[in-house]
Amino acid sequence: MITNAKTAPGPNTPGLMGDLKAYRTDPYTLFTRAWREHGDFVRLRFGPIPVFLPGHPDYLKHILLDNYQNYDRGQLFKKFERYTGPGLLTGYGDTWLKTRRLAQPAFQPGNLDQYAAVMADGAQKLVERWRPAAEAGGIIEASDEMVYYILGTLGRTLFSIDLSEHAADIIPAAHYAVITQVTKTGTLWEMLPEWVPTPHYRRVKAIRAFFNAIVDRIVDLHRRGVHDSDYVSLLLKEEANGNLTAGQVHAETLTALIAGHDTTAAALTWLLYALAMHPEVQNQVRSETDQVLGGRAPTIADLPQLIYTKKTIMETLRLYPPAWLFPREPAADDEIAGYHVPKRSIMMLTPYLVHRHPEFWENPEVFDPHRFGPEQDKARHKYAYLPFGGGAHQCIGMHYAMQQLIFTAALITRAYRVELAPGGPVLPETALTMHPRGGLRIRITARG
Ligand code: HEM
């Protein structure tokens, strides 16, 4: 029990709800302001619950690595289980560890080459899909297009089913899930038990039923033995070995579907935004693609050569990390930076802030892919850059996602020039994952 530690500084916002209302409306501004005004370890308050904002990489390392067994996903994250089921994304402890070890092989670098041809084919199909719009100098709704595209390749690689046909239903369902995960925090509607038929819970149940039906279909097809080398077949083999239950197979399939598509589509959308805002970067990605690929499809052997493209993606994930916020809850009292952390408080881990820490990033708001490279990456604090999280719970799909992002960036820039369509400023939406508010509209033109 820690007794001498001080109370962390913070805005001491008056009122019953404290900082809850500001969190529900604009968490980016709330967090950025609190961090700038009060430093690297800030105390906020959601009603009676203390909420901490660790802004220094040392503190993130403490929570995610050194003392990670004291920090579970917590109530805020657990609520997302209503969509994903109790899988890896919300799991913790022994069951999580056992499942993680079983699922990991599907995402290990050595196993990713089996997905490469489908990823490259998907990216080329996207290029073809955009051709009529490009010829007409047309405008693309990039956010929706990226979800459509990712559902196609994610489905074909991991589940052997093209899920893009469900995009029109998945887009609003996932959107509702990630937005209300923040905007309804601590509201009366969220405190009621889920059997109360409020409009919110009716929607939650409809979304859950919808995702469950898709996953049932995917798993059924695999049980009939149609496929034998994708992620679902790996899960089913572990079920046959007695290592997973049928419920876990369902939850992990659903988790990969939800956790995998929303983040990767957001990353690609922000990548298009960054390319549009920085034509010189776009040109450099394009000339690297020309040099490395010429006119052919990318393979896994090209990845080490597409260096600048990778740096551009890493810089995009620095300024626009799709998983910009993920919470934790301490099971027992702790002390960070000499400040007291009571058990069952909320710890808001925010790559969005740490990626802008001036001690670790020069001119943090400037988009500059050259920040990355073997030397810089080695010299940097490991927890100053964590778009895929860190420690034991680091994203299982990290290498898979990077491969997909690199292939897509290469093929889009080879075919098209990307510009922003006229419209207002592009700002992040209040949601659990970071997307441009109201979507992103781009104009594409065919390259000569
Ligand atoms: C650009 C794309 C992606 C980003 C930015 C991203 C980000 C993250 C982050 C930050 C975490 C850590 C969360 C935490 O510590 O609480 C995480 C975990 C996870 N991600 Fe990703 N992710 C991406 C793509 C994917 C893909 C493609 C998949 C699967 C197909 C996936 C599946 C998961 C799972 C299952 C976890 C939980 C890992 C665990 O705790 O064992 N993600 N992701």
The 3-class secondary structure across the chain, one letter per residue, is CCCCCECCCCCCCCCCCECHHHHHHCHHHHHHHHHHHHCCEEEEEECCEEEEEECCHHHHHHHHHHCHHHEECHHHHHCCHHHHCCCCCCCCHHHHHHHHHHHHHHHCHHHCHHHHHHHHHHHHHHHHHHHHHHHCCCEEEHHHHHHHHHHHHHHHHHHCCCCHHHHHHHHHHHHHHHHHHHHCCCCHHHHCCCCCCCHHHHHHHHHHHHHHHHHHHHHHHHHCCCCCCCHHHHHHHHHHCCCCCHHHHHHHHHHHHHHHHHHHHHHHHHHHHHHHHCHHHHHHHHHHHHHHHCCCCCCHHHHHHCHHHHHHHHHHHHHCCCCCCEEEEECCCEEECCEEECCCCEEEECHHHHCCCCCCCCCCCCCCHHHCCHHHHHHCCHHHCCCCCCHHHCCCCHHHHHHHHHHHHHHHHHHEEEEECCCCCCCECCCCCCCECCCCEEEEEECC
Q: How far apart are CA 31 and CA 356, in angstroms?
A: 12
Mutate to test the pocket of ligand 1, among 108, 115, 218, 395 (most ligand atoms within 8 A of CB): 395
Q: How far apart are CA 124 and CA 127, in angstroms?
A: 5
Task: Measure 294 CA to ligand 1 centroid, in angstroms.
Answer: 32
Task: Measure 387 CA to ligand 1 centroid, in angstroms.
Answer: 9
Residue 323 Cβ contacting ligand 1 at under 6 Å: yes
Task: Assign domain 20-446 to its CATH superfamily.
Answer: Cytochrome P450 (1.10.630.10)
User: Minimal CA–CA distance to 272: which of 285, 262, 260, 259?
Assistant: 285
Residue 393 Cβ contacting ligand 1 at under 6 Å: yes
Question: Are 140 and 133 a contacting pair, CB within 8 Å?
Answer: yes
Structural domain spans, the chain? 20-446
In b/e form, how buried is each residue of 391-421, taking b as 16+ CB within 10 angstroms? bebebbbebbbbbbbbbbbbbbbbbbbbbbe
Residue 260 Cβ contacting ligand 1 at under 6 Å: yes
pLDDT in tens, the chain (448 residues): 555 789 999 999 999 999 999 999 999 999 999 999 999 999 999 999 999 999 999 999 999 999 999 999 988 888 899 999 999 999 999 999 999 999 999 998 888 888 999 999 999 999 999 999 998 878 999 999 999 999 999 999 999 999 999 999 999 999 999 999 999 998 888 889 999 999 999 999 999 999 999 999 999 999 988 777 899 999 999 999 999 999 999 999 999 999 999 999 999 999 999 999 999 999 999 999 999 999 999 999 999 999 999 999 999 999 999 999 999 999 999 999 999 999 999 999 999 999 999 999 999 999 999 999 999 999 999 999 999 999 999 999 999 999 999 999 999 999 999 999 998 899 999 999 999 999 999 999 998 7
User: Minimal CA–CA distance to 328: which of 94, 98, 97, 65?
Assistant: 65
Nearest CA to ligand 1 atom 21: 395
Residue 324 Cβ contacting ligand 1 at under 6 Å: no
Residue 352 Cβ contacting ligand 1 at under 6 Å: no
Count CA within 13 A, CB hemisphere, residue 252: 29
Task: Measure 397 CA to ligand 1 centroid, in angstroms.
Answer: 6
Task: Measure 258 CA to ligand 1 centroid, in angstroms.
Answer: 10
Residue matched to tokens 């990630």: 178
